[in-house]
Amino acid sequence: MHRAPQLTFPCASEYSWRAWEKAYEDHRRKVQSAQPLVDTCAPLTFRHLQLKLKRLKLEEERLSIIQRDNLLLLEKVASVMRTRRQAGSKNNSTHRSRN
C-alpha cells in the first residue's frame, strides 16, 4: 500500500498551520490571564436592614413604660413608709348578721 508523504505540519498548508498556531497562542494567552468568575466576597449588607429602627422604637417604648411603672411603685412604697402606723390596727366594729 502506497502512503502519501507526511508533512511536518498537522494542517494541509503552512498558511493553515500558522493560523492555527496563532489561534492556539491567543487561546493560551487568554487562559493564562483569565480571572476567576466566581464571586467569593460577602454579599452587600444594607444599613437600613441592619439597623432595624422599628425594633429600636418598640424597645424604647417598652423601657419607658417600665420606667414609669417603677416610679409609680416607688411613690406608693414611699407613701406607705411615710404614713404613721396605728398601734391598734384591729377593727373595733362589731360584726352584724344580715339574717
Amino acid 36: pLDDT = 84
pTM: 0.42
For the stretch 45-54, pLDDT in tens is 888 888 899 9
Q: Distance of CA 79 to CAs 26, 65, 74, 90, Å? A: 93, 21, 9, 21
For residues 11 and 17, the answer to whether their CB atoms sit within 8 Å is: yes
| 12 grid coordinates | 494541509
For the stretch 24-39, pLDDT in tens is 999 999 999 998 888 8
